[in-house]
Structure 1
Amino acid sequence: MTSPLLPALPPRMDIEMVAVASGTHPELIERFVELGLVPARRDAGGRLWFDRGAPELVRRIVRLHADLSLNYAAVALVIDLLDRIDVLENRRWVIQFGKGTPPWT
């Protein structure tokens, strides 16, 4: 059942959908793909396809670059470190409370 207020996201998104959802220009997203910041797959026609989490990742990259004045190599490092922190916090939660998933995920 889907809510009339929340649109259902497709299992994969093209570059235009990611651009609209993240509020960025498609050329910037292409650059992020070229730099290896945003994972994407190309189909036989050369069209880029993204996972559902791509708009959030693009927004995070833009925020880190603009707000902290980080270059894109540093942005990649920060995103990797933030992902590792999330994994470690989830493990700590499971060890400490013996539950499968923490309430913030």
Structure 2
Amino acid sequence: MASKRSSDDARTFLISVAAELAGMHAQTLRTYDRLGLVRPQRTSGGGRRYSQHDVDLLREVQRLSQDEGVNLAGIKRIIELTNQVEALQARLSEMAQEIEELRARQRRDIAVVPKSTAVVVWQPGAARRRRQSE
């Protein structure tokens, strides 16, 4: 999903276009920006540039407000919690990958001798170094 989101965010819209795509008035987008519900990119001159992700978020704000009757403070909290969950899921995925890499490395470095309770740590070249030093 991250790659799709990145490609969506690469394309930006002027406030008038974003407002039309979201089915809102441009002034509503300015208000939502001031309230922190959506945070569009800014040009060097201060103009707002909305990504596809921003437009989707604006549509969700409108749905929550009109269809579900959630007030703007509630919507802001929902957005914050959603962002937090997404960040935690991404971190969990990273940690799961790290654990798998550690397990794979561990399988390469440890050999269990059959019919024994001994665990032998294999070190490449250790026997060769020992013979050369004798």
Is the TM value for this pair above 0.5?
A: yes
The question of whether the paired residues in 2 share the 8 Å contact of 1:43 and 1:49 is answered with no
- Return the offset for 1:80: 0.5
3-state DSSP class of the match of 2:70? Answer: coil
- Pairs aligned (count): 90
3-state DSSP class of the match of 1:49? Answer: strand
Q: Which segments of 5 or more consecutive residues in structure 2 lack a partner in the other structure?
A: 1-7, 99-134
Q: TM-score, normalised by structure 1?
A: 0.66
Aligned to 2:26: 26
- Return the offset for 1:43: 5.2
Structure 1 CA distance, aligned partners of 2:59 and 2:11? 19
Q: Which amino acid aligns with 2:93?
A: W
Structure 2 CA distance, aligned partners of 1:68 and 1:88? 26
Q: TM-score, normalised by structure 2?
A: 0.54
C-alpha RMSD of the superposition: 2.6
Structure 2 CA distance, aligned partners of 1:32 and 1:76? 10
Aligned to 1:5: none
> Considering only CA atoms, is the larger Rg found in Structure 1 or Structure 2?
2
Structure 2 CA distance, aligned partners of 1:81 and 1:10? 24
Q: Which amino acid aligns with 1:70?
A: V
Identity of aligned residues (%): 23
Runs of 4 or more consecutive aligned structure 1 residues displaced over 6 Å after TM superposition: none
3-state DSSP class of the match of 2:49? Answer: strand
1:61 is the counterpart of 2:52: no
3-state DSSP class of the match of 2:62? Answer: helix
Higher helix share: 2
Change (3 A) 1:73 1:89: same
Change (3 A) 1:9 1:87: closer
Aligned to 1:86: 86
Change (3 A) 1:93 1:47: closer
